[in-house]
Amino acid sequence: MERLRAHLKLKNFELQNRIGVGGDGEVWRVRCNKGKEYALKARPINKNTHLFQKEFERLRNMRLPHIIHVYETGIDKGYVYYTMKLVNGMHYNEFIQQGSSEQEKLDRCVNVTKQIAIALTAMHRAGLAHLDLKPDNIIVDEDHKATILDFGRACALGERQFQNNLIGTMAYISPEQRIGHSTDSRADVYALGISMYEAITGEKPKIEQVGTPPISLAIFNPSVPLQFSALVDQMLSLDPMVRPKAEEIYRRLLKIEKKLPLAPAPWPSPPIFIGNAAPLLHHSFCLMAPTGYGCRRRIQEARRLWYQKGYLSVAGRCKKTKILNPFIEILDALFSPLSKEERRQLAGSDIAILRKIAPKLPIPSSESSPKQFDPHVIANVLRRLFIRCTPIAIVIWDLHKADPLSYNVLQKLCVKIPSGMRVWITSRENSNLLPKELIPRWTKQQENTLWKSFATRLLH
């Protein structure tokens, strides 16, 4: 196979000069027979070439805001390629870092990221994910208009499997991708969060251990508004379900830009944990304590340790006014990143019951759902489902807010927990569902110790 070089022709396109090189191909400025110039990305033919072409045929027929126009795909001289509009400008982080002050950098970041959020919203609603979003794939022109480039790894959501594949650039890959779990559009949100962090600080976030969140921007730079810092923290959450959707990112950035009221954002905690969450890895527990005692932080640390083993954890929140809400959220977390075939395999013969629990679950079924909820049946179906996912940790937030049916199902589920499964529950009230771990009050001395430990790590 001939290497790519200047003046080589791929069908009707003559290569002029190389613009960039990525892990999956090269981008060149090319000129067609009619004298027009385009950008062309080429990569060697492989077993996924037909999928690559299929996705780009879909992209070619779309005109989405702030997304590069894709013109055609082809195969020649051992390469598969696609052409796109040639866009001139600066990369995302370069444009933001050229701000003359911290405030101007923030203003530039908010303005450009709003446009990227619009683009991602359009992509995700069209059933696509980019999966290689990073500063080098975002160009900002002289009019401050942003454009997302390079769809060499884009995918149709629910149509291709991404388990056990590291798709994208390592520094921007989401935690769930790193451990080989299926992913979806929320991987784009994580990558955008990393890009925002890098653009504001001028460097990639330092993550001491896999799964540990980076230092919040508000701690790194006190001039960064808490609402902006909290948004980035949420986008970088270990739990994909916690990450905001692209449209929410746009709304929050718009409010920050226009200085409109937003929900108060608390001062961020250091990304370290004082205590021992390891016992949760070996046993199921109900953590009981009032708000502010550290139950949430302990479970977050346990999920991080669980994640470092390469295991899956999912969470659901109890709501008194919404029947079976914790299980609806858990089912969404389990099924939404999967392909259609994976969903059918995971649901097995329990599709009808699962659709009864969560009617919006994306699993096609010709079976009619039962007319009534039977807590025994629901608990058994969920147990079988979780066994198919083991090892898995199930987190139930706020048991004291559970509707009666959710509590009844949990009661039956906790009678017999499979060996590869953990159940971690938080509650402000007494419960006999699981062995209790009483969390002592968080003291000022512990808080001081935490910040001193964090400061010591920063200095070293």
Say if CB 136 and CB 166 are below 8 A apart: no
d(C-alpha 404, C-alpha 2), whole Å? 68
Say if CB 281 and CB 302 are below 8 A apart: yes
Say if CB 394 and CB 424 are below 8 A apart: yes
Render pLDDT for 45-69 as a digit per residue (tens, 0 to 9): 988 787 677 767 777 777 889 998 8
Which residues, 6 or more positions from 53, have their beta carbon under 8 angstroms from its beta carbon?
A: 73, 75, 80
Q: Which amino acid makes up residue 386?
A: F
How far, CA to CA in Å, does 327 sit from each of 104, 379, 415? 44, 10, 17
Q: Provide the pLDDT for residue 141.
A: 95
Q: Provide the pLDDT for residue 329.
A: 96
Nearest to 277 by CA among 297, 256, 251: 297
Q: Provide the pLDDT for residue 163.
A: 42
How far, CA to CA in Å, does 137 sit from each of 156, 241, 316? 19, 25, 34
How far, CA to CA in Å, does 26 sit from each of 12, 157, 250, 456? 18, 25, 32, 44
d(C-alpha 243, C-alpha 259), whole Å? 22
Which alpha helices (DSSP H) does 222-337 contain, by range?
A: 226-235, 246-258, 295-308, 325-335
> How many CB atoms lie under 10 A from the CB of residue 202?
10
d(C-alpha 343, C-alpha 275), whole Å? 38
H-run or E-run covering 427: strand 421-427
Structure letter (DSSP) for residue 281: G
> How many CB atoms lie under 10 A from the CB of residue 324?
23
Strand partners, 21: 26
d(C-alpha 299, C-alpha 236), whole Å? 17
Looking up tokens 């196979």 gives 1
Render pLDDT for 337-360 as a digit per residue (tens, 0 to 9): 888 888 999 999 999 999 999 998
Tens of pLDDT along the chain (460 residues) come to 889 999 999 999 999 999 888 667 889 999 999 999 999 989 899 887 876 777 677 777 778 899 988 888 899 999 999 899 999 999 999 999 999 999 999 999 999 999 999 999 999 998 888 888 999 999 999 999 999 987 656 666 655 444 445 566 788 888 888 877 778 899 999 999 999 999 999 888 876 666 777 889 998 888 899 999 999 999 999 999 999 999 999 999 999 999 998 888 888 877 667 678 889 999 999 998 877 777 888 899 999 999 989 899 999 999 999 999 999 999 999 998 888 888 999 999 999 999 999 998 888 777 776 778 899 999 999 999 999 999 999 999 999 999 999 999 999 999 999 999 999 999 999 888 998 876 766 666 766 776 677 666 665 5
Q: Is the pTM of this model over 0.75?
A: yes
Q: Provide the pLDDT for residue 376.
A: 95
d(C-alpha 215, C-alpha 293), whole Å? 22
Q: Provide the pLDDT for residue 459.
A: 58
Kindly state the tokens that stand for 447.
């808080």
Kindly state the tokens that stand for 430.
């007494």
Which residues, 6 or more positions from 24, have their beta carbon under 8 angstroms from its beta carbon?
A: 43, 152, 153
